[in-house]
Structure formats: structure tokens, C-alpha cells
Amino acid sequence: MAAILADIQMVETGIQMNNYTLDSANRALAGYYDYIFTKHQIDSLSFANNFAYYLANPVEMDSVYQTTITILSTLESKSRGIIIPDTNKITVK
């Protein structure tokens, strides 16, 4: 879910930054949403049901959003050429 939300956030930000008209933005978003759902092998109804589940479970939604933020931050850092160490690796000395 976090990866889907990260993709959606990137698309919506891109649309906002390009100052699309409302009609153009809606058409562009529809196409991008279709692409995102296909990429993540989910349909729009399943996404809506999953999103509704997380909205009804705020603790779980917070966890999903934290992961989404991590994904977006990592992508931003990579785009700027910043190397982020993998903190999940165990170093044996």
C-alpha cells in the first residue's frame, strides 16, 4: 500500500507543479492512476477498499504513511545523488 501511495503522491505533485487546468489534471490523473494500479497489480475497487480499511484503522494507516514517507525520501535522496546507508544491515566486527 505504501508503494502505491508513494506513486500516487509523486503523480499528484507533478500535476500540481505543472499547473494543469482542472479538466486536464483530471484526465492526466485518471491515466496515471490506471498505470499505477496496473504496475502494482491492483484494481481501483481493491485500492479503494484497502484505503477505506486503513482510514478506519488509524494506527495501521500511520505505519503505512511512515513507510510512504521513507520511500519518497529515499527516492528524493537518490535523485539528488545522496547515498543513504542501509540501517537494516548488521555489521559484524
- Dump pLDDT digits (tens) for 49-58: 999 999 999 9
Q: How many domains does the chain have?
A: 1
More confident residue, 38 or 87: 38
**Of 33, 57, 59, the residue nearest 46 (C-alpha):** 33
Asked if residue 86 has pLDDT above 70, the reply is no
What is the torsional sign of CA 68, 70, 72, 78? negative
Tell whether 90 is covered by a domain. Answer: no
Average pLDDT rounded to a whole number, residues 63-68? 97
Tell whether 12 is covered by a domain. Answer: yes
Tell whether 71 is covered by a domain. Answer: yes
**Of 85, 70, 90, 68, the residue nearest 7 (C-alpha):** 68
Res. 93 pLDDT band, cuts 50 70 90:
very low
Tell whether 25 is covered by a domain. Answer: yes
Core vs surface per residue 23-39: b (16+ CB within 10 A) or e: eeeeeebeebbeebbee
- Predicted TM-score (pTM) of the model is 0.81
pLDDT of residue 78: 83
Tell whether 93 is covered by a domain. Answer: no
Tell whether 84 is covered by a domain. Answer: no
> Whole domain around residue 72: which residue ranges?
2-79
CA distance to 18, 32, 39, 78, 85, per residue, from 82 (Å): 26, 28, 26, 5, 10
Res. 92 pLDDT band, cuts 50 70 90:
very low
Locate cell 486536464: which residue? 24
